Amino acid sequence: MDLWKFVQENVVLIAVAFVSGAMLLWPAARRSAGGPAVDTLGATLLINKEDALVLDVRQPGETAAGRIVNSKTIPLPDLQARLKELERWKAKPVIVVCASGNRSASAVATLKKNGFEKVFNLSGGFGAWQQAGLPVEK
């Protein structure tokens, strides 16, 4: 069978295969763009053993409902302007958290671009932290 004829007769099938493949690869591409990720267990180890900073980049309305104990809140839109507040953590681990992991991926990129050495995105965000039954404060 001629390849061109096969493509013409199965264009919808080929398009579906391409789209489904792209959908499978998208989460991996997002993770790599947001820097290294850490799960809740890894995050607790970094907090307890290396005195990591937990940086919450959610909006004040979101953090009012609860936040990780001892976390520092700087909403993502304010991060660039408030980097000076984080200077002392440039060489220490910083775990960035948002609701699901998308905004925190952007914050990780900003911090890395500004010289922070050990920056991690909390996989699953604040929701994963709560699901794991880890301590939160209001």
CA 51 from centre of chain: 20
Q: Do 61 and 89 fall within a single domain?
A: yes
- How many structural domains is the chain composed of? 2
Same domain, yes or no: 59 and 70: yes
Note the pLDDT tens digit of each residue in 47-85.
Answer: 999 999 999 999 999 999 899 999 999 999 999 999 999
**Residue 98 annotated among the catalytic residues of the structure:** yes
- The residue segments making up the domain with residue 60 are 35-137
Range 101-117 average pLDDT: 93
What CATH number does residue 90 fall under? 3.40.250.10
- Give exposure, 41-73, as e/b (b: 16+ Cβ within 10 Å): ebbbebbeeeebbbbbbbbeebbeeebbeebbb
- The whole-model pTM stands at 0.76
Q: Give me the catalytic one of 98, 105, 111, 119.
A: 98
- Between the CA of residue 84 and those of 32, 40, 90, 111, 115, what are the distances in Å? 26, 27, 10, 11, 12
Pairwise CA distance, residues 44 & 50, whole Å: 10
User: For residue 109, what pLDDT band results from cuts at 50, 70 and 90?
Assistant: very high
Domain co-membership, 73 together with 126: yes
Residue 102, classed as helix, strand or coil, is helix
Residues 4-51 pLDDT 10s? 888 778 777 777 777 776 666 555 544 444 568 999 999 999 999 999
Q: Could you tell me whether strands 136-137 and 67-68 are parallel, antiparallel, or unpaired per DSSP bridges?
A: antiparallel
